[in-house]
């Protein structure tokens, strides 16, 4: 027998529930790195400014897979937390 539960959520509450469920499913996949869905992605311009690099240098690093990045269509995006970890690793070499 199926039960139907009706509830009222704000847009923000509903989005948070979906975000948590998607994150739980993704994190349950064996071998999948733990991800934080809530972290916003930053643009090439923002990353270049934070890293004190020219955009062209950043694009070169992306094309050579020397820096962690994401693609959305043709757009290159970054997570600041991953860039911070990358900086620590690069400084340690």
Tokens of 42: 């930053």
Q: Residue 1: its pLDDT value, please?
A: 66
The pTM of this model reads 0.58
Give the Å distances, CA to CA, from 90 to 15, 30, 85: 36, 28, 9
Q: What is the mean pLDDT of each run of 10 residues along the chain (93 residues)?
A: 78 80 81 69 93 95 95 90 89 70
Domain ranges in the chain?
41-91
Q: Residue 36: its pLDDT value, please?
A: 63
Helix, strand, coil percentages (3-state) for the chain, rounded to 5, are 50, 10, 40
Q: Residue 7: its pLDDT value, please?
A: 80
Q: Residue 23: its pLDDT value, please?
A: 78
């Amino acid at each position: 027998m199926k039960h139907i539960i009706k509830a009222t959520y704000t847009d923000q509450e509903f989005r948070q529930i979906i975000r948590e469920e998607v994150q739980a499913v993704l994190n349950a996949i064996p071998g999948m790195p733990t991800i934080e869905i809530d972290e916003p992605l930053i643009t090439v311009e923002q990353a270049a400014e934070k890293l004190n690099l020219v955009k062209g240098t950043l694009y070169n690093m992306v094309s050579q897979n020397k820096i962690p990045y994401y693609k959305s269509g043709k757009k290159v995006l970054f997570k600041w937390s991953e860039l911070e970890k990358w900086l620590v690793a690069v400084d340690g070499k």
